[in-house]
Amino acid sequence: MLFGPKKINTVGLDISDSSIKVMQLARHHGYYVPSAYSNIDVPNNLIANHVISDEQKMADYILRAIKSAKFVNTKYVVASVPEAKSFVRILKMPKMDTTEIGSAIPWELEQDIPIPIEQVYLDWQLVKEDTDANQVLVVATPKDYIDALVSSLKLAKLRPVAFELESMATARALISADDLDMTTLVVDMSTTITSFVIVSGKGVIEYTSNIPTGGNHITENISKTLGISLKEAEDIKRSKGLTADVKKGNIRQAMLPILDNIIDEIRNVVKYHADHSSLSGGVRKLVLSGGAANLQGLADYVTARINLGADKPIDRIVLGDTWVNVMPESERKKLKVSPEESLAYSTAVGLALRKED
Distance CA(52)–CA(65), nearest Å, equals 17
| Mean pLDDT, rounded, for 2-10 | 63
Could you tell me the pTM of the whole model?
0.88
Summarize pLDDT for 67-84 with one digit per residue, the tens. Answer: 999 999 999 999 999 877
Q: Is the dihedral of CA 224, 225, 231, 232 positive or negative?
A: positive
| Mean pLDDT taken over the chain | 88
Collapse the DSSP code of 153 into the 3-class scheme (helix H, G, I; strand E, B; otherwise coil) and give the result.
Answer: helix
Position 313 confidence tier, pLDDT thresholds 50, 70, 90: confident
Q: Where are the alpha helices (DSSP H) in 215-288?
A: 215-226, 230-240, 251-276
At 278-301, the pLDDT tens digits run: 666 788 899 999 988 988 889 999
Same fold, 1-85+144-175+325-357 and 177-320: yes
Helix, coil or strand: residue 15 = strand
| Count of CA atoms in the C-beta half-sphere (13 A) of 205 | 26
Q: Which residue has the higher pLDDT, 6 or 200?
A: 200
Using one digit for the tens of pLDDT, what is the confidence trace for 135-193? 888 999 999 999 999 999 999 999 999 999 898 899 999 999 888 888 999 999 988 88
Three-state DSSP state, 146: helix
CB 14 within 8 A of CB 167: no
Kindly state the average pLDDT of the residues 300-328: 86
pLDDT in tens, 206-248: 888 889 999 999 999 999 998 999 999 999 898 888 876 555 5
Count other Cβ atoms within 10 Å, centred on residue 34: 23
Closest of 123, 135, 211 to residue 168, by C-alpha: 123
The fold of 1-85+144-175+325-357 is Nucleotidyltransferase; domain 5 (3.30.420)
Taking a C-beta distance cutoff of 8 angstroms, is the pair 152, 82 a contact? no
Domain residue spans of the chain = 1-85+144-175+325-357, 177-320
CATH code for the part of the protein at 177-320 = 3.30.420.40
Instruction: State how far the Cα of 200 lies from the Cα of 320, in Å rounded to an integer.
Output: 17
Distance between CA atoms of 243 and 255, rounded to whole angstroms?
11
d(CA 36, CA 285): 31
Give the CA diameter of the chain: 67
> Residue 1's pLDDT is what?
47
Q: Please, how many CA atoms are within 13 Å of residue 88, restricted to the half-sphere of its CB?
A: 26
Rounded CA separation 83/164 (Å): 10
Per-residue pLDDT reduced to its tens digit, 95-141: 988 889 989 999 888 888 888 999 999 999 888 888 888 888 899 99
**DSSP string computed for 286-323:** EEEESGGG--TTHHHHHHHHHTTT-SS--SEEEE--TT
Strands 159-165 and 194-199: unpaired
Confidence of residue 357 (pLDDT cuts 50, 70, 90): very low
